[in-house]
Structure 1
Amino acid sequence: MKTIAAALLLGISGLAMHAQDKAVPPGEDRVYKTVDGQELHLWVAKPSGKPTHTAVVFFHGGGWTGGTVTQFDAQTKELAERGMLVVNVQYRLVAKAPSTESPQVCLEDAKSAMRWVRSRAKEFQIDPHRIAAGGGSAGGYLAAATALVPGWDDPKDDLAVSPKPNALVLFFPVVNVGPSYYDQHRFGDDPRKYSPEAYVSRNTPPTIIEGGGADKLVPPDELKDFKAKCDAAGAKCVLDFYPGQPHGFANKEPYRSLTLNAVMHFLESIGYLRKDTPDVVVPTQ
């Protein structure tokens, strides 16, 4: 168990890493919480097209130890243009390996951000029951965990406000942190307790997963297992694989646009985007 001093040091270290980023996501910079005197920010990109009154909240990847909050800039601009409110979240980071520091603070922040957005639904003119969460890799874990994994709430939050998203948009997400898949010894002796896959039920929100067929960090079988559990429970889960693609493939073209088009069709199917939403033009290689 970490000491309080270590927790403070790691939290401040993570904030400093983000503070050094010169680029910030599109949208209005807002502070959603303050931890030990350090502000945590998110960026709210308001619809530039006719509003759909829906939202998506993105969490960047980076193994909970790094990454950039601008990871979803392209998706943010396109989805906002099509009428969605899009939010990108800064969260505290933990120490890199060989540290086995738990990503508890990451998930605490993710749940705080979801509560912040939902509690301001009236201000942003969004439906509090149509807020999606999205992310890539470790950020995909955070998005899925806000929906499925109990606990790891910031005790200072208004716990009466649900952090659970109403849909999930996941790119090569970590959904199983057990020894058979993504085990970095960061989840204690019972990692299954913190695996989104362990909590799949008929109440799992509609989900789309974009996976790499050659991903060695989040292997295809992990995502297939998640979908199989969703199917068995009667929960909607769309799983797309892109042959030969490694982890992180959707961060570059043409896969950024290909996966975004898939996501937009999914969002259309659940009523988050209009049925006539045009595809993004996919760049040629």
Structure 2
Amino acid sequence: MSGPTTPPEPGGVPTPPPVPSPAPPFDPELAVVLAALGEGAREPITPDNLGARQERDASARPRPTAEDLRADGRFEVTEFRVPGPPHGPDVTLVGVRPAGLAGPLPLLYYMHGGAMIMGNAWSVLPRILREWALPLGLAVLSVEYRLAPRTEYPGPLEDCHAGLVWAAGHAAELGIDPDRIVIGGKSAGGGLAAALALLARDRGGPAALGQLLLSPMLDDRGRTFSSHQMSGLGMWDLTSHDTAWKALLGDRHGAADLSPYAAPARATDLSRLPPAYIDTGSAEMFRDENVAYANAIWQAGGQAELHVWPGACHGFDGLAPHAVLTRDARAARTRWLRRLLAQPGDGPAV
């Protein structure tokens, strides 16, 4: 089975606007939050300040302990050290499942956000457990992949693939259903999930039931209309975007022959992929690449559910967790997961 190919040129990516273009307005509740944060919270990440920003993020980002995640006995928590990619270190997977549920459970195999340069496998779990694991009876494995620039592509993706292979091969002892594994992630993690779906397809497995792509970071080129239209207006800008991609790709950043496994927007073959859920905001830089990815899946004969949340910026659900728009987005994601996980003969979905 041949892998996907890459176009020699940007291949249909819109040319950025030659002059500043009016931006879609932010949702009113989000606009209040962004205004309160001020310009200081949106300081661009540059190669010169990257190290300091990583240290700041590591110290400031909440990292719950295993005891915190157990939530007074509602969840079982186990950290696994599993074989990593060839010539690479072992990979840490943080496993959490609702206590007392007999298996095999469906699995959400999740990759955290952070632009490939920040974040950790623990900090994303409280939200996932609250929104999906408990209501839907899901087991979760969160991947602690290596970060750039210390580890460049393909290291982070190979970490995620190695963990997925291990999980599928140890499904019985994990109490999970290997036929109901959903791969997912947000922002950089969404890009990794999309790349992992491509890689697993071309390596012959493990097969995923679906891919949950939340504002995925897919395109290293920064040439879409929205990447220029929305740069610096929300929580992300082209300077930070280029810094993150260059940290991951090094000299390969922007190369015409860059692998789609590095930047899934480069893929020209999106056939035979698991059904995708893709959401994005109308007022975020990643809007156009996310919409284009859903369209390319449809053109390849695949399934994709696309939501463009009006007035949403990148990371809106974390910035304004109680906003009406956030509640609507959470509900839509949960409905998609319910439909995906429902099996004939099981009765009503949880």
Q: Same fold (TM over 0.5)?
A: yes
1:58 aligns with 2:113: no
Give the structure-1-normalised TM-score. Answer: 0.75
Listed as ranges, the gaps of 5+ residues in structure 1 are 1-9, 154-158, 278-285
CA, structure 1 residues 242+21, in 2 after alignment: closer, same or farther (shift >3 Å)? closer
Residue aligned with 2:294, SS: helix
Matched with 1:261 is 331
Match of 2:186 among 98, 113, 136: 136
CA–CA distance in structure 2, aligned partners of residues 46 and 62 of structure 1: 24
CA–CA distance in structure 2, aligned partners of residues 124 and 47 of structure 1: 13
How far apart are residue 272 of structure 1 and its match? 4.6
CA, structure 1 residues 38+233, in 2 after alignment: closer, same or farther (shift >3 Å)? closer
Number of residue pairs the alignment of both structures matches: 250
Contact 2:106 2:181 in 1 (8 A): yes
1:46 aligns with 2:97: yes
Match of 1:91 among 145, 151, 171: 145
How far apart are residue 257 of structure 1 and its match? 4.2
Q: Considering only CA atoms, is the larger Rg found in Structure 1 or Structure 2?
A: 2
Can you list the C-alpha shifts for 1:66-122, whole angstroms capped at 9, x where unaligned?
Answer: 1132124212233221211111111111128xxxx7332111111111112111111
CA, structure 1 residues 150+114, in 2 after alignment: closer, same or farther (shift >3 Å)? closer
Matched with 1:206 is 275
1:234 aligns with 2:301: yes
CA–CA distance in structure 1, aligned partners of residues 221 and 259 of structure 2: 5
Contact 2:91 2:163 in 1 (8 A): no
Residue aligned with 1:240, SS: strand
CA, structure 1 residues 200+266, in 2 after alignment: closer, same or farther (shift >3 Å)? farther
CA–CA distance in structure 1, aligned partners of residues 166 and 190 of structure 2: 19
Contact 1:79 1:86 in 2 (8 A): no
Residue aligned with 2:176, SS: coil
How far apart are residue 256 of structure 1 and its match? 5.1
Percent identity between matched residues is 25
Residue aligned with 1:204, SS: coil
Matched with 1:5 is none
CA, structure 1 residues 94+195, in 2 after alignment: closer, same or farther (shift >3 Å)? closer
Contact 1:91 1:109 in 2 (8 A): yes
How far apart are residue 196 of structure 1 and its match? 2.0
Match of 1:195 among 238, 257, 263: 263
1:71 aligns with 2:124: yes
Superposition RMSD in Å: 3.4
CA, structure 1 residues 37+271, in 2 after alignment: closer, same or farther (shift >3 Å)? closer
Contact 1:132 1:169 in 2 (8 A): yes
More helix by share: 2
CA, structure 1 residues 207+22, in 2 after alignment: closer, same or farther (shift >3 Å)? closer
Contact 2:104 2:172 in 1 (8 A): no
Which one-letter code corresponds to 1:260 in the other structure? R
Listed as ranges, the gaps of 5+ residues in structure 2 are 1-50, 70-76, 225-240
Contact 1:112 1:163 in 2 (8 A): no
1:119 aligns with 2:169: yes
How far apart are residue 163 of structure 1 and its match? 4.3
Can you list the C-alpha shifts for 1:240-282, whole angstroms capped at 9, x where unaligned?
Answer: 12111111112241355433321221122223587443xxxxx
Which one-letter code corresponds to 1:195 in the other structure? A
Contact 1:91 1:106 in 2 (8 A): yes
Can you list the C-alpha shifts for 1:150-172, whole angstroms capped at 9, x where unaligned?
Answer: 79x9xxxxx88x34533111111
Which one-letter code corresponds to 2:313 in the other structure? P
